[in-house]
Copies of this chain bind each other. A is one copy, B any other.
Amino acid sequence: MAKRNMHQATMQSSNSPQPALRTTDSPEESPGNKDSPEPKEELSPGAEPAEEAGEGSEEPRDEMTLDINRFRKPGEKTFTQRSRLFVGNLPVDIPEEEFKDMFAKYGNISEVFINRERGFGFIRLETRTLAEIAKCELDGTVMNNRPIRIRFATHGSALTVRNLLPAVTNELLEQAFSEFGPVERAIVVTDDRGRPTGRGIVEFANKAAARKALEQCTEGALLLTNTPCPAIVEPSEHFDDEDGQPEKLLHKTQNTIRNES
């Protein structure tokens, strides 16, 4: 793991640290987990965050140092559309170098695009998690008195697959759809016990491949196993269940809706 670096205490953050809010322990809860059928949880006496606040540390920690290599997983494709961030509310005159430098610490970057007129940009990081870290740390950073806004860009070439047999693995799914074009990610969705749900996600590297897969699987039949059970393929919809619709955005979205209806 990365060498720790917890003695520096810097407070450059615009977010004030939050006190631990309520956390309720639910002994009757059963985390149906792949590796553990319903363990009974003894709750440690010090289960209240308030008491645990100092847990495992003598000095206050305001920084964590991570080993970037741990965020590069063997076999994981890099610089995919899943690792692509939209950056809004940028200073209109931001130099490309300054934009790149903001993300430089999160590993390598790719496909940098800036629209200075409209004050937004796009950038790809190596992996999804690195992009999540950058999003979380940089979102709301104040530049020229305006907080920049960072979100994941919509994946333009993702498909949902249904009717998959239990024997289908991520690897088989990827292999089968690679005939239509480069696959960025193929996942057989499992339930909370690791059992396949029959649903899958296939993310292509470009729209053309996604379109081709969609057409050929709709007109013809794609068999992933030697059982006559054709996969049902549909375009994936992109939803935001992270930020959702907060008050502060309501007015904006209401206008959007009004303008479009």
Q: Decide if A52 touches B88 in the complex (CB within 8 Å).
A: no
Smallest CB separation, A223 vs chain B (Å): 18
How many identical chains are in the complex?
2
Residue of B nearest to A246 (CB): B170
Which of B36, B69, B81, B126 lies in contact with A15, CB distance below 8 A? B69
CA distance A55 to B101 in the complex (A): 9
Report the count of interface residues on A (CB-CB < 8 A).
Answer: 146
Q: Decide if A194 touches B109 in the complex (CB within 8 Å).
A: no
CA distance A250 to B252 in the complex (A): 46
Q: Decide if A205 touches B138 in the complex (CB within 8 Å).
A: no
Chain B residues near A16 (CB-CB < 8 A): 69, 74
Q: Decide if B30 touches A156 in the complex (CB within 8 Å).
A: yes
CA distance A190 to B120 in the complex (A): 21
Chain B residues near A205 (CB-CB < 8 A): 22-24, 26
Beyond A55-B112, A187-B242, 20 extra complex contacts between A and B, CB < 8 Å: A1-B12, A1-B105, A1-B141, A18-B73, A23-B78, A23-B80, A26-B81, A30-B156, A44-B112, A49-B110, A55-B110, A56-B104, A61-B107, A64-B133, A65-B65, A65-B66, A194-B249, A194-B253, A195-B256, A196-B245
A sample of 12 inter-chain contacts (CB < 8 A) reads: A23-B124, A23-B205, A31-B153, A39-B113, A48-B110, A61-B68, A65-B65, A170-B246, A190-B240, A191-B238, A191-B239, A192-B237
